[in-house]
Amino acid sequence: MNKNVLRYLIAGSVAILFALAIMASKDLLAQTDESVIFQILSDSFFVPGVCFMGVGLIVVASRGGAFDMLGYAIRMMIDVFKRDVKDRKYKDFYEYRQAKKEKKRSIAYLLVVGCVMVIIAAFFLIAYYNF
């Protein structure tokens, strides 16, 4: 199986399990009113959708370099205690930044799964307002 497809399947499965946990915590199966059912379904899909989209957007910001200086500072603090100054993995911030640019992987699966969950939540929200 393709690695990207596997990422989508795992992320989708985790999001659905998250939604099912929210449905179970709100006792969906015991509800009889349609509007309450649609409210629970909308909430259950919206929360994991926003979580996945939020994590995806944080990763996008990180890939853009928003947290590089913080990461480099933490790395240097760890290296101070572990290694000699001459044996550091990165000699300066420029080398650290170039190494981070080479390690990029696709994170579209987080954003796509999050968007799909929010769209499903929107359909249940529309149904909620129609009942």
Query: What digits encode the pLDDT tens for the residues 38-95?
Result: 999 999 999 999 999 999 999 988 888 888 888 888 888 887 777 666 677 777 888 8
Q: How would you write 11-32 as a 3-class SS string?
A: HHHHHHHHHHHHHHHCCHHHCC
CA dist., res. 123 & res. 125, Å (int): 5
Range of the domain at 59: 3-130
In the predicted model, what is the mean pLDDT of residues 15-27? 96
pLDDT category, 126, cuts 50, 70, 90?
Answer: very high
**CB of 88 closer than 8 Å to CB of 120:** no
> For the segment 90-123, what is each residue's pLDDT rounded down to a tens digit?
778 888 888 888 877 788 999 999 999 999 999 9
At 84 the pLDDT is 66
Counting the structural domains of the chain, the total is: 1
In the predicted model, what is the mean pLDDT of residues 10-19? 97
Whether the model clears a pTM of 0.75, i.e. scores above it, the answer is yes
Structure tokens of 10? 């795992």
Please tell me whether residue 92 adopts helix, strand or coil conformation: coil
CA dist., res. 89 & res. 55, Å (int): 28
